[in-house]
Amino acid sequence: MTPKALLGRVALYALLAAVTFLVCFPLVWAFFTSMKPKDEIFLWPPTLWPSTWTLENYRALLQGKDAYFQAGAAGGGQPPPSAFFLDWFLNSVIVTLGTTVISTLVSTLAAYSLTRFRFPGQRAVPYLALVGYMVPSIIFVFPMFLVMADLRLTDTLLSLILGYVCITLPFCMWLMWAFFRGVPIEIEEAALVDGASRLRVFWEIVLPTAWPGIVAAAIFTLIVSWNDYLFGRVFMNSMENLPLTVGVMHFFDGTHVDWGLMMASSVIMTVPMAILFMALQRHLVAGFGAGAVKG
Amino acid sequence: MDVRIEGLSKSFGSNQVLKSLDMTFPERRFVTLLGPSGCGKTTLLRMIAGLERATAGAIYFGGNRVDHLSPGDRNIAMVFQSYALYPTMDVAQNIGYGLKVRGIPKADRAEKVGVVARVLEIGQLLARKPRALSGGQRQRVALGRAMVRKPDIFLMDEPLSNLDAKLRATMRGELKRFHLDLETTSIYVTHDQLEAMTMSDLVAVMDQGVVQQFATPEEVYDRPANLFVAGFIGSPPMNFAEAELGEAAGRPVLRIAGRALPVPPQFDLSGAPSRLTLGIRPQDVRLAAPEAPDAIPGTVWMTELIGSERLIEVEIAPRLRITAEVRSEIRAELNAPAAVAFDMAKLHLFDPGTGRALPRR
């Protein structure tokens, strides 16, 4: 390796290390903070590595016990916010899975028909869908709230699922549309000639080929609906119906911020997504290979 | 099983791709649909396969009408230009898919796939995915997928066009060999006249949605039915020249570039127009001494060496050039005087109005 190439390599690794640090530090900090007892969190100078390791924050979350709010400082007689943590977690899981299933299924079928059947507006739909996604969701949220109110769906998980489907479906459809356009139609014709029915062709030939695209669309939907705050904040009001993102905001009030609970919640929120992403990202790349047709 | 089509038409919107075709593809013959791109040959093949619906007309396989049947119910096999292998399946699954769809048990399937793989010499590739195969190997897998089901009709859509020249020459021979072994009616689409001439029992030359000539390769080459076929078949292409039909010493002659050539006796001149289009292949033109009675004098316009032969283009009248294919030892200086002579037995005559070849006795 020439000195110049070596220098370039060193600079590249330095840059990568810097970016990695920037991305990882908040996560690491959140994890360590969640493992510290309350009085160590505010220690000055701060400790990165907890001097005393404790699970008290996690215990408080999972058992619904919380020293400060329990004492009634927040409001008389009400259960503390941490008592709802498991509800919130379950709400987020239900809403996220529901949205992902609906969005992925509908967008896959819609995109397939957009690329394989001729009908008026066939070319315009994917582009219009993309334009729709470019509009910020805050523009949609209040009209949608009114619609949900008319439908008497506010404060239900279904309203969140429908809202997130509206936000994610257009982009997923565009993604799958772009993907299906790259799947040569001859593969399907070959299967038809081989004797398979249309449905069987879709199930056995098209879907496995489109798997990476479906995984990409599903991951996108998962992230959007798991991380959303806006819709949850506007559509929901009962404590037990909130999604996690909105719920954890109850860990601080005008006078008090419970960083220990906040950080423990953050870790619990991050871990499932991180595991899921690591499991799925392999599929994003695998199967993308060409070779079905000339290549 | 023979394939018969009757009054078959196909339009895409206002664009008529096939114009009321009537043809019979005889049983167990290898028939090629040959023509330039856009002539309708692939559309015809796809209609026989059932991948495209006819606008009008009927298709029969062995006397049974099949237009209403889906591709899977026609017992055909098709090799696509892009091979169209299933990317998520390995080679064995690709070949066996048609059997699986038809509910053949796994053990039988494996045995049949094994037999085909042995014939095609791809036995060692059965566990590979298509992306790990070379172009020639993919081609063989596509063939295997078609062969394994013992189809009634074997359809091929330019299957060799993605291969390099050397492999294409090898595969031409192999395809022909497979056809003879399978004894299946084969319909083959190509724009490559060499493939059509070397492999076919019958060639259908198509242009603008019409079959221009449907005959053996020899006949298509030696007796082209019209100007299109004459110009499309043969390399280098046939020379064409306008000629005036006249008479000299009581015998019919063709006047061209100031010369009078006797009309060969094989032509029936009754009803022929006074102006004709004369066609002669470069292989049937030789360089002649200028004083020879049948020589047409001119000047050398261009020469090209094409391996064992040389092409010499001689300008015999303003903007009228005749190409002669001669042995490569024969050299000619640019702009030097030269004369060409035609092998009159190989002459072609066409009616310039209709484009049709003049009838022969």
B110-127 pLDDT, tens digit each: 999 999 999 888 999 999
Computed over every residue of chain A, the mean pLDDT equals: 86
Give residue A93's pLDDT: 95
Structure tokens at B190: 């190509």
Radius of gyration of chain A (CA): 24
Which residues in chain B have Cβ-Cβ distances shorter than 8 Å to A191? 86, 97, 101
Q: Within an 8 Å CB–CB cutoff, is residue A294 touching chain B?
A: yes
Cα separation of B277 and B252, whole Å? 15
Residue of B nearest to A200 (CA): B101
Cα separation of A186 and B81, whole Å? 9
Task: Say if residue A27's pLDDT is above 60.
Answer: yes
Residue type, B265: P
Task: Say if residue B144's pLDDT is above 80.
Answer: yes
Domain ranges of chain B: 3-224, 239-350
Mean pLDDT of B221-226: 95
Which residues in chain B have Cβ-Cβ distances shorter than 8 Å to A208? 88
Please check whether the domain covering B239-350 is classified as CATH 2.40.50.140.
yes
Cα separation of A72 and A39, whole Å? 20
The proportion of chain B whose per-residue pLDDT surpasses 90, expressed as a percent, equals 74
- Say yes or no for a CB contact (<8 Å) between B82 and A186: yes
Which residues in chain A have Cβ-Cβ distances shorter than 8 Å to B135? 294
Cα separation of B211 and B205, whole Å? 6
Task: Say if residue A74's pLDDT is above 60.
Answer: no
Cα A57 from chain centroid?
24
Q: Which CATH superfamily is domain B3-224 in?
A: P-loop containing nucleotide triphosphate hydrolases (3.40.50.300)
Residue of A nearest to B161 (CA): A294
- Say yes or no for a CB contact (<8 Å) between A194 and B82: no
Task: Say if residue A291's pLDDT is above 50.
Answer: no
Mean pLDDT of B264-282: 92
Residue type, B330: I
Question: pLDDT: is B117 or A63 the higher one?
Answer: B117
pTM for the structure as a whole:
0.79
Which residues in chain A have Cβ-Cβ distances shorter than 8 Å to B80? 186, 189-190
| Residue A94, φ and ψ in degrees, nearest 5 | -60, -50
- Say yes or no for a CB contact (<8 Å) between B102 and A200: no
Which residues in chain A have Cβ-Cβ distances shorter than 8 Å to B83? 292-294
Only one residue has tokens 């078959």, namely: B8
Q: Which of residues 227-286 of A touch B (CB under 8 A)?
A: none
Are B3-224 and B239-350 the same fold in CATH? no
In Å, how far are A88, A162, A260, A280, B25 from A272, measured between CA atoms?
A: 14, 23, 19, 12, 63
Cα separation of A117 and A279, whole Å? 34
| Residue A69, φ and ψ in degrees, nearest 5 | -70, -30
